[in-house]
Amino acid sequence: MNTTRIIVLAVALTVLPLSMACAGGAGGLTWGQQYFDSQLSNHDFQSTFSGGYGYGVTRNGQRIGGFGLAVTSLPNGSLDGGFGGLILGQEVHTGPFLLAVNLWTGFGGLSADPALLTAGSLALFEELDLEMGLGFISWMEVTAYAGMQAITRVGAGHALFSGAMYTPVLGVRVAWGSF
């Protein structure tokens, strides 16, 4: 390899990590509650979702990251399962204001369904939401979100998507990072 190619390669490998310094990212806590609406829901799951998440943001506003959620039953506060997965989205910042569209896709487990008289099962999770927020200080944002969640059990005794549950969700997120 000649000297010119070595220099070009060394400069490229040095500049590439520095280009990521122009991007942003955040991580934080999320809490959401499902709401039954007879027009938009097919199941009254009555659950809250809480957990943590983190994502990177490109200079063009695309989000990519991951999450972990715990599912808690509203009537008795019992832990009903959990999910982990991928966050994809697009965000727009104007001053301290944020508007974002997110898709949270993951898998995890749900506890036994009393109606099915079976053990817990593997499940798929999907949430599409619109997030609006305000940055109080340069490294912290508080956002509210509204969207739709879908959960379906998979595995033995569960035909894929035949038992899908979907319902609206509302929630709050607090994020710390580089905005």
Query: According to the model, what pLDDT value does residue 88 have?
Result: 96
Report which DSSP code applies to 40.
Answer: T
Range of the domain at 98: 23-178
**Which residues on neighbouring strands pair with residue 134, listed in sequence order?**
97, 142
Q: Are 136 and 10 in contact (CB under 8 A)?
A: no
* Residue 77 is assigned to a structural domain of this protein: yes
Instruction: Characterise 47 by phi-psi region: left (phi > 0), alpha (psi -120 to 50), beta (else).
Output: beta
Query: According to the model, what pLDDT value does residue 12 have?
Result: 67
**In CATH, what number is assigned to the domain containing residue 54?**
2.40.160.20
Query: According to the model, what pLDDT value does residue 13 have?
Result: 67
Count the domains in the chain. Answer: 1
* Residue 60 is assigned to a structural domain of this protein: yes
* Residue 17 is assigned to a structural domain of this protein: no
What confidence tens digit (pLDDT) does each residue in 114-161 have? 554 456 778 899 999 999 999 988 899 999 999 999 888 886 665 555
Query: According to the model, what pLDDT value does residue 14 have?
Result: 65
Query: According to the model, what pLDDT value does residue 40 have?
Result: 76
* Residue 1 is assigned to a structural domain of this protein: no
Q: DSSP secondary structure string, 64-120?
A: EEEEEEEEEETTT--EEEEEEEEEEEEEEEETTEEEEEEEEEEEEEEPPPTTTT---
Report the predicted TM-score, pTM, of the whole model to 2 decimal places: 0.79
Query: According to the model, what pLDDT value does residue 169 have?
Result: 94
* Residue 14 is assigned to a structural domain of this protein: no
* Residue 6 is assigned to a structural domain of this protein: no
- Which residue ranges in the chain fall short of pLDDT 70? 1, 12-23, 113-119, 155-163
